[in-house]
Structure formats: structure tokens, C-alpha cells
Amino acid sequence: MAKPVTTVVPAQTDEAEAQAKAMERLQQMAAADVDALAEALRLARALHDRGLLTLAAALLEQADDVLRIVVDFVNQPGAVRGLKNLATAAQALGAVDLEAFGRLAQGAVASVDEAKADRKALETPLGFFKLLAYLADPDVSAAIRLLLAACKGVGRALRAEAEGAPVAGAGSSANRTAAGGAASDAGTGGESAAAGA
């Protein structure tokens, strides 16, 4: 007669036996990865010596609070501007053709060296007519053209900003007209404008 029973008695867990089993497993794992473990211990010791482990543990324990403080701080206008500048500078640097820039820099260095070598000329003031004569020099003329082109670009950007035209950027307060966006969908390259007309 097996009447329904609902009482369950958990097994007496033998602590010592469980611990011995765990240790045995640990030993097996350690033996299998002895080199990696030794390296990991070295790293841990170095981190411990510098107090970095304690710091990391504290950071993790307080992760939410720490992240909030960091985000609040970084979200201040000054910090945002700094990060933005950094991103823009990185982008500008990324746009520079290093090879071409290298050639320009080498040319400049060579000319500077040349000028430095002519010690006498360095001591003589550069007169107005001499300056005009330099403009006739094809090398100087080309360099000035480059600088003026850069100035033009800066000026255009300045004026655009003064007139309230949009500044590209994700989620910014951009208000460009619908036709003003740029995209190259599907990444396959479009037909030419002439073909599309």
C-alpha cells in the first residue's frame, strides 16, 4: 500500500568527500594547463603588487556607480567638445594622404636646410620687391596656392556655420532638407548622373 508521500529528505552531503572531489578535479585541470597557469599567476602577482587587482575588484563591485559618474562627467559640454575634437582630428588625420604629405614635408625640409645653409641671406632683411620676386618662383607660388586653398575651405565652413547650415553628425541637431542627405545604398555604386537623367 503506497500512500501518496510528499516529504523529501535531502541526501547528507559529505563535505569532506565533496571537497576532495573538487580538489581532485582542480588538480587535474592544473596539470593539463601547467604552463598557462604559471604565466597567469605571474600576471596576477604583478597586478597584485601594483594594487591593480584590488582596484579592478573595487571597480567591478561598484560598476554601476562608477560608470554613471564617468558618463556624467564625460557628458559635460567641455568634455564632449574635447572628445569631439579628438574624433574630428582623428578623422582629419585619416583623410590626409600620407604619401603626398610625406613628399611635401620632404620638400619643405630640403628647402629649409638650403635656406639655413645660406647664413648670409638669413641675416639680410627680405624687402618688398624681393618678396614679389619670390612669388614669381614656381615652387613658392605652388606652396602659396596650396595654403590659400586650405584657407578657402576654412572660410567656407566658417560662413556656413554663421548662416546656420547643417553640420553633419549622427543624432546632432542637424536639420538638413530631405534631399540634402548623402548615401550610397547597397554599396554597389550608382549609375552616372547622365545615365539617370
Least distance to other proteins from the beta carbon of 106, Å?
31
> Looking at residue 166, what DSSP letter applies?
-
Provide the residue count of the chain. 197
Least distance to other proteins from the beta carbon of 167, Å?
10
| CA dihedral (61, 67, 68, 73) positive or negative | positive
Per DSSP, helices labelled H in 50-76 are 52-61, 63-74
- Assess contact for 168 and 174: CB atoms under 8 A: yes
Q: Which of 19, 27, 75, 106 binds other proteins (CB under 8 A)?
A: 75
Which residues within the stretch 113-142 sit at the binding site for other proteins (CB under 8 A)? none
Which residues within the stretch 47-66 sit at the binding site for other proteins (CB under 8 A)? 64
CB nearer other proteins, residue 88 or residue 111: 88
Which residues within the stretch 7-36 sit at the binding site for other proteins (CB under 8 A)? 7-11
Q: Is 87 in the site for other proteins (CB under 8 A)?
A: yes
Q: Is 154 in the site for other proteins (CB under 8 A)?
A: no
**Rounded CA gap, 166 and 177, in Å?**
9
Rounded (10°) CA dihedral 32, 38, 39, 43: 130
Phi, psi angle pair for 6, to nearest 5°: -120, -5
Q: Is 78 in the site for other proteins (CB under 8 A)?
A: no
Q: Which of 45, 48, 130, 176 binds other proteins (CB under 8 A)?
A: 176
- Assess contact for 115 and 121: CB atoms under 8 A: yes
Q: Which residues contact 37 (CB under 8 A, 6 or more apart)?
A: 30
CB nearer other proteins, residue 80 or residue 109: 80
| Residue range at the interface with other proteins (CB under 8 A); choices 23-31, 35-43, 83-91, 154-162 | 83-91
Q: Which of 45, 48, 84, 103 binds other proteins (CB under 8 A)?
A: 84
Chain residues that interact with other proteins, rule: CB under 8 A: 1-11, 64, 67-68, 71-72, 74-75, 80, 83-84, 87-88, 91, 168-197
